[in-house]
Amino acid sequence: MRGARIKWPDMSTRPAPRELTVIRRERVTPSLQRVTVGGAGLDGFPSEQQGGYLKLFLGEDGKGRPIVRTYTIRHQRADELDIDFALHGDDAVGPATQWSLRAEPGETIAVGGPGAAKPLPNAHDFYLIAGDMTALPAIAVNLAALPENARGVAAIEVQNEADRLDLDKPDGVEIRWLVNREPGSQPDLLADELRSVALPQGNIAGWAACEFSSMRNLRALLRDDLGLRGPSLYISSYWKAGLVEDDHKIAKREDAEAQAA
């Protein structure tokens, strides 16, 4: 943020964030806002990081702690990164979403990362994919990387019919768009859709990222019912209804510990 004074977290084990410059912002669909960043701060940024994640530093919280939010690299070009922000609606607006709506060309933002992408695994006969609009950037990157002969179903929850995107994907992967005007309000939606898929014989891979409660329902299906494990399963909660990102991280850690116990 232009002129923002930021107290940096301990960077002894991580590279210092870069100052990236806002190049433009545009509304991709009614509920998806794209901000393109780049500039000299991108020098030395590793190539081929689309699908990986960034940490956006959005100032301080009033107690001297940095406000940090996690976002996916939707596209990477030589000198630019696109970041797509799911807009939450009127009553659940956070600092990252607000920033995406107001970012002006020329202003700067501190950005950490990249963190590793979570691609679909190779050599599976069928892919079961699920996500909401926060995972749409990662799903779009992953579908575009699949081989032409890949088969599967991707259930994607969006807020409006007009949020559906024309995704680059193999013909054998069917996209099932599910409209939910209140994100976080229907935790069964994605899992129920995948449950209705007639699965072929063979090696199945699952990939899901979405709201916390929705993730738990998908985990019950993909891991517990279908028995997917190891490299055949990636599942992650990207946010939790009613919690800001820091509190979501705590809920996520507690959930992981409970699963491991």
Q: Which stretch binds ligand FAD (CB under 6 A): 70-78, 105-113, 165-173, 227-235?
A: 70-78
What gap in Å lies between CA 222 and CA 225, rounded to an integer? 6
Residue type, 234: Y
Taking the complex as a whole, how short is the minimal distance between the CB of residue 75 and ligand FAD, in angstroms? 11
Give Cβ neighbours of residue 66 (< 8 Å, ≥ 6 apart): 6, 7, 8, 9, 57, 58, 59, 60
Q: Binding to ligand FAD by residue 131, rule CB under 6 A?
A: no
Binding residue for ligand FAD (CB under 6 A) from 18, 25, 55, 69?
Answer: 69
Distance from chain centroid for Cα 11? 24
How far apart are CB 65 and ligand FAD at their closest, in Å? 13
**Residue 31 within binding range of ligand FAD, rule CB under 6 A:** no
Q: Is residue 109 a contact partner of residue 22, using CB atoms and an 8 Å limit?
A: yes
Residue 122 region by backbone torsions, left for phi larger than 0, else alpha for psi between -120 and 50, else beta:
beta
Site string for ligand FAD, 35-54 (x = CB under 6 A): ------------------x-
Between helix 212-219 and helix 245-260 the angle, nearest 10°, is: 20
95, 119, 170, 172: which one binds ligand FAD (CB under 6 A): 95
70/204 with CB nearer ligand FAD: 70
Interface residues with ligand FAD (CB under 6 A) are 53, 69-72, 84-86, 88, 92, 94-97, 134, 137, 183-184, 238-245
